[in-house]
Structure 1
Amino acid sequence: MIFDVFNQEIKEFNNQVSLYIKREDLIHPFISGNKYRKLKYNLIQAQEEGQKALLTFGGAFSNHIAAVAFAGKEYGFKTIGVIRGEELSSKINDNATLSFAQDNGMEFYFETRNEYRNKEEKLYINNLKDLFGDFYLIPEGGTNSLAIRGCEEILTEEDDMFDYICCSVGTGGTIAGLINTSATHQKIIGFPALFGDFLENDISRIAKKDNWELIKEYTFGGYAKTSDKLIEYLNRFYNNTKIPLDPVYTGKMMFGIEDLINKNFFPKGSKVLAIHTGGLQGIKGMNVKLKNKNLQIIKFDG
């Protein structure tokens, strides 16, 4: 079931740039945003193949792990999560994401960080099949050709009014889907959540157009890194709009968009659409870290 998704205007700036946000986070309460889009056709494919189990990969606070666990319970699949970091096996109850996934029936296989790097190797996958039996494999982050197909459905005809489409970037599947279905007059701007020149190559292999660019100045130190400045921005944005943002993906994107608008990156009169890709479940885990460091926490309605 898809819940209400709508474009919400945030503000019009002095240079007459209008900023809107597409509330993909409202698609589903537990499989929200791009995770719903990425899983949609993979779940259909798994059902058509007669598969009974889904296996995937992720870290301690992975939005993808949480979404797969709930989707598996919702659609009748056993779920297996290969989790990066063997030390986490004794910390499930202290981790909101892993606790949620376990409560929804996910079985965990905690892997060393060194071995986890082999997750795409055929021998490693075969070893997992020896352990768990046959399964439908969903890659870390969920990006494959079926995930891109799902993300191609994010933009609709009503979005043709926008000149720029912005999204956060993890594995590249979401931005590839946006690129593939964008209108000829639109430019797609990606805000990576992590460092690495590999993203351009990965996106180029799966995107069908070249009307895009990545802006890398807003990672705030790298994946899952944050700062007082970013937390203050997230809380101010929430106070002004009542829209929660997560500190790993959407928060950095929105910070970057507003900063670029104020620097006149977008031509006068531009209409900019930011895609809210969800990921709000990870805020609980981040807030635990912030509390332990006696730092301000992130406000949200979850």
Structure 2
Amino acid sequence: MENAGSLFRPPSPVEELIDPRLAARGVRLLLKRDDLLDPEIPGNKWRKLKYNIEAARRSDHATILTFGGAYSNHIRATAAAGAIFGLRTIGVIRGEEHLPLNPTLAYAAGRGMTLTYLDRPTYRRKTESEVIEALHRRFGDFSLIPEGGSNGLAVRGCAEMPDEITQNFDLVCCPCGTGGTLAGIAAGLRGDQEVLGFSVLKGANWLDDEIRRLQEDAYATPQGRWRVNLDYHFGGYAKTTPELLSFIADFEKRHGLRLDRLYTGKMMYGIFDLTEKNRFSPGTTVVAVITGPI
């Protein structure tokens, strides 16, 4: 395992996106390129893991256990973090083992992660004490990070993002899965600034309550101003439509940036569609968070 590295990462760059469709409506768009934070732990994965890594390194056991699907970017990033920072990592994977391992799990195993599997009914109970106690009996002491990496420590990491943006702005937009990134960004805003999350999940009416819960976990009380838009999930998690894929291809052709179809593509489509519908006042400066690579 590699020697433990530094938890410091320089701020990710902010780039202005020039597009006549936005300019015609008086909207300025800045891209917060969190996808460039770290090649192995990119974007919001790094921000969510930062203080979880710090806590695990301070503990006696220096072990992280977390959950995810077979293609989970969170599993991949946690495995990389373990290798870089000298931590033992355990990935509890939803479903049965399939060999050979897919590229995500092969990478995680190659970075030293111990992979174990839970059948789907048990996996749905992964937050219950009975399941957690069984994992402790098998693996000993560990720091537990929930699926997707969203907890109070993750919120504190994501809350550092707004201070890195030196330009004046009115609104931050981010894709929204578990709500941790949005909860953190909202906590880091000042004045009348607001964050708008674009849910990538269908029927995610629970997100507002979850964001409040995450902020209370981190700060005891809710922080900042936020909204969640539920209209641009394109069928749900990992679902797409020809319209979305066409937008992503056109965006790459225009701007040389490939958006992923799970998260940033849906967010960016929403930003352009809301701009076209005059939902942003002329003169608004929007910061779109590019949370990760393809």
Give your verdict on TM over 0.5: yes
The one of 171, 176, 185 equivalent to 1:169 is: 176
User: Offset at 1:92?
Assistant: 4.4
Instruction: State the percentage of identical aligned residues.
Output: 44
The one of 198, 203, 206 equivalent to 2:206 is: 198
Runs ≥4 residues deviating over 4 A? none
Matched to 1:101, the amino acid is: A
Partner of 2:51: 41
Partner of 1:107: 114
Secondary structure class of the residue paired with 1:226: coil
Q: Deviations over 1:71-112 (max 9, x none)?
A: 0011111211111121xx12443x221121111111111211
- Structure 2 Cα separation of the partners of residues 48 and 97 of structure 1: 28
- Structure 2 Cα separation of the partners of residues 260 and 242 of structure 1: 22
Structural mapping, 1:55-134, within 5 Å: 55-86=65-96, 89-93=97-101, 95-134=102-141
Partner of 1:215: 229
Counterpart check, 1:267 vs 2:281: yes
Cα pair 2:14 2:165 within 8 Å, conserved: no
Partner of 2:5: none
- Structure 2 Cα separation of the partners of residues 216 and 205 of structure 1: 19
Count of aligned positions: 277
Counterpart check, 1:13 vs 2:46: no
Counterpart check, 1:154 vs 2:161: yes
Counterpart check, 1:230 vs 2:238: no
- Structure 1 Cα separation of the partners of residues 69 and 139 of structure 2: 20
User: Offset at 1:160?
Assistant: 5.9
Secondary structure class of the residue paired with 1:161: coil
Secondary structure class of the residue paired with 1:55: strand
- Structure 2 Cα separation of the partners of residues 172 and 158 of structure 1: 21
Cα pair 1:3 1:28 within 8 Å, conserved: no
Secondary structure class of the residue paired with 1:83: strand
Give TM-score scaled by structure 2 length: 0.90
Partner of 2:36: 26
- Structure 2 Cα separation of the partners of residues 227 and 15 of structure 1: 26
Unaligned residue ranges in structure 1 (runs of 5+): 284-302
| Cα RMSD, aligned residues only | 1.6
- Structure 2 Cα separation of the partners of residues 107 and 145 of structure 1: 25
Counterpart check, 1:182 vs 2:189: yes
Give TM-score scaled by structure 1 length: 0.87
- Structure 2 Cα separation of the partners of residues 258 and 275 of structure 1: 14
Counterpart check, 1:246 vs 2:260: yes
Unaligned residue ranges in structure 2 (runs of 5+): 1-7, 216-221
- More displaced 10-residue stretch of structure 1: 104-113 or 25-34: 104-113
